[in-house]
Structure 1
Amino acid sequence: MVHNMQARSDKPDTAETGKFTESKLKKTETQEKNPLPPKEKTEQEQQAGKS
Structure 2
Amino acid sequence: MSDKLDLAEVEKFGKLKLKKTNTEEKNTLLCKDTIQQEKECVQTS
Fold similarity call, TM over 0.5 = no
State TM-score, norm by structure 2. Answer: 0.44
State TM-score, norm by structure 1. Answer: 0.42
